[in-house]
Amino acid sequence: MRHHRFHHGPDTPPRPPRPASLPDGGLRSLPDAGDAVHSEAAVVGELRDLIGWLRQRLRGEHTVRASVLTAEPNGQDGYLILLGEAEARLTNDPPRLKARLDSAELAQIRTEYGPDFDPAGLVNRTVTLTLRTSLRQRFGRGAGVQAKVIGLLSIGQVPLEADLDRERTLQRLRLEGRRFGPETWSEPQDPRHIALVVSEHGEVRRDVEHVLQPLEDAGLIRIHRVWAIFEGAGAERSLIEAFARVAGLQREYRLSATLVCRGGGPVEAFRPLNAFGAANAAARAEVPNLITGLGHAGTPRTALDAVAARSEPTPTAAAMLVRHLVERTGAQAERALADLDAAIEAELEAAGRVDLARAGAAFDRALLDLADQADDRLRQLGQAVERSLLANLAAATGVSAKSASGADTAETTPLDQADALDEEGDDDLLSEALTLVIAAETGRVVTTAEQARAETDLLLHFPDGVVPAQVEPRNTVIPSATTH
């Protein structure tokens, strides 16, 4: 909306400014004597008065020629239509206006164009509408212009020139042997550097950055923004320069993907995207994973869509594709880390089992060694007990005794020498261990040496067990009995 100068009275006509020369040769508006009054009145006026003045002047009916960018259902049998310029202009931020088409007006249009009329069929067409405009107060957003469709005067045809331009461009690229299309897609393993070709102004940049900005803030990706013009006479040259800058970024950073995004508009506005210069620049740049998000779901495919490795219906969908690639890489990294942890755990578990088996084998060998040592010790202890018993028996009976197990013969030791040995440190328990001697055949308790000589087999009782012994005569001066 243009700026206006307001006066005291609503019917006072605005006074045109007087031109004056500037130092650089330009002109500017200089105040006169009456301008101070008007400026003071504008400054001290109330905001409610200004909004009321605007509401009165924005209210009215207007006939406009525009292109239908989108047509979305709004309520019951109503639509919300987004209008754009009928012809593409050289501008970064083309004007847009939302108009409401209510059910009553839609019914009236269907009486004129037939009962099968669908507002969605107006997308990408040039139409002539009658709009009723007014000022509305939006809660929390201030004042705004609202428009309502009250009549549809004419509907333009979808031009065929765009399809013809696209086919001519693609045929020329094929003849030159350019490699393009889905076959150029290469799944990035670690998306890092992303080039974004977009208009510096407008909602498309905000929509794409709304999706990718959190990833950039988290340090997962880096976005290289390349500004370009998509409409008007200089759009093709601007796109060629943009792809040249993208090629430089590719050489410097090894880009993972390149996004080319623009908003919706009339079919004529996409003509630069069907031009051979723009499509050839995109194919010649050889940037990996070119992703386009041009227009909306109803926008016809352009030559740049065919050149791209992936073509998405909207800029938001193109940005979401990049986001999914980053998230998929994170999920793959998590799975790889989980597999690595599992492999390390399995390796450690296998090594632990080996070490445990080795420790168990060593423990078994140690137990066997201890058992052998215990057996040797017990055998030595048994032989010592047996020798002590035979020595005491020989001393008591006066005969030489030999154990039945074949141990060394224990010579007769006098009692005083035995006592001396006991005093020198022999095991007292071994010398006093013998508690009972029994004849094996009769079971009679033997208490004297004479009884022992008369028997052949004896049983020597100890506190911890019984030892068999055998009495045998020896060819000596003194009769002897050998005990086994």
Task: Give the residue with greater pLDDT, 120 vs 337.
Answer: 120
- 147 and 211 both lie in a single domain: no
Distance CA 117, CA 108 (A): 11
**Mean pLDDT estimate for the chain:** 77
pLDDT, mean of residues 163-183: 88
- The domain in which residue 194 lies consists of 165-313
Q: Which residue has the higher pLDDT, 94 or 361?
A: 361
Residues 188 and 290 placed together within one structural domain of the fold:
yes
Whether the predicted pLDDT of 383 surpasses 80: no
CATH number of the structural domain spanning residue 88: 2.40.50.140
The residue-averaged pLDDT of 15-24 equals 43
Residue 372 lies in a domain: no
Give yes or no: residues 272 and 383 share one domain: no
Do 185 and 140 fall into the same domain? no
Contacts of 249 (CB under 8 A, 6+ apart): 193, 195, 224, 226, 255
Indicate whether 389 pLDDT > 60: yes
pLDDT of residue 434: 59
Q: Which residues are CB-neighbours of 198 under 8 A, at least 6 positions away? A: 204, 205, 208, 225, 226, 227, 228, 259, 260, 261, 262, 315
Model confidence pLDDT, tens digit, residues 390-443: 777 766 666 555 555 554 444 444 444 444 444 444 444 444 555 677 777 777
DSSP of 393-435: HHHHHSS-B--TT-PPPB----HHHHHHHHHHT--HHHHT---
- Quick one: pLDDT at residue 334? 62
pLDDT score of 21 = 42
pLDDT at residue 374 is higher than 80: yes
Q: Domain count of the chain? A: 4
Is residue 95 one of the residues assigned to a domain?
yes
Task: State whether 382 and 460 are in the same domain.
Answer: yes
333 or 47, which is more confident: 47
The 10s digit of each residue's pLDDT in 218-230 is 888 999 999 999 8
Q: Give me the pLDDT at residue 400, please.
A: 59
d(CA 68, CA 118): 13
For residues 142 and 218, state if they share a domain. Answer: no
Identify the CATH number of the domain in which residue 296 sits.
3.40.50
Is the pLDDT assigned to residue 9 strictly greater than 80? no
Q: Please tell me the predicted confidence (pLDDT) of residue 351.
A: 81
Residues 90 and 211 in one domain: no
Structure tokens at 5: 């100068």
Note whether residue 360 is domain-resident.
no
Whether 100 and 132 map to the same domain: the answer is yes
Question: Of the given ranges (24-28, 71-75, 268-272, 285-289), which has the lowest mean pLDDT?
Answer: 24-28
* 119-130: average pLDDT: 87
User: Taking residues 347-364, what's their average pLDDT?
Assistant: 83
> 17 or 213: whose pLDDT is higher?
213
Whether residue 138 has pLDDT greater than 80? no
Residue 344 has pLDDT above 60, yes or no: yes
The confidence band for 337, taking pLDDT boundaries of 50, 70 and 90, is low
In the predicted model, is pLDDT for residue 6 greater than 80? Answer: no
Q: Is the pLDDT of residue 325 over 80?
A: yes
At residue 419, φ and ψ (nearest 5 deg) are -65, -35
Domain boundary residue, one of 289, 313, 337: 313
247 pLDDT tier (thresholds 50, 70, 90): very high
Higher pLDDT, 38 or 287: 287
Is 250 part of any domain? yes
Phi, psi of 4 (to 5 degrees): -130, 155
Q: What is residue 47's three-state secondary structure?
A: helix
Q: What single letter denotes the amino acid at residue 462?
A: F
214 and 299 in one domain? yes
Q: Which helix (H) or strand (E) holds 337?
A: helix 315-397
The pLDDT, as a whole number, for residue 36 is 45
Structure-block tokens of residue 363: 């423990």
Whether the CB-CB separation of 236 and 275 falls below 8 Å is answered with: yes
Classify residue 319: in a domain, yes or no: no
Residue 66 belongs to some domain of the structure: yes
Identify the residue whose tokens are 């632990």: 352
Last residue of a domain, one of 109, 133, 155: 155
Least confident of 70-79, 273-282, 352-361, 435-444: 435-444
Position 428 scores a pLDDT of 46
Query: What phi and psi values does residue 322 have, to the nearest 5 degrees?
Result: -65, -40
DSSP 116: T
Whether residue 59 sits in one domain with residue 191: no
Judge contact between 315 and 177, C-beta under 8 A: no
Query: If pLDDT is split at 50, 70 and 90, which confidence band does 312 have?
Result: very high
Q: Do 40 and 99 reside in the same domain of the chain?
A: no
In this structure, of 230-234, 281-285, 402-406, the range with the lowest mean pLDDT score is 402-406
- Three-state DSSP string of 224-243: EEEECCCCCCCHHHHHHHHH
My answer on whether 212 and 309 are in the same domain is: yes
**Closest-CA residue to 82 (of 318, 270, 300, 263):** 263
Q: Is 50 part of any domain? A: no
Average pLDDT over residues 285-306: 87
Where is the domain boundary, 290, 313, 336? Answer: 313
Q: What does the pLDDT read at residue 23?
A: 43
% the chain with pLDDT above 90: 27
In a domain, 455, yes or no: yes
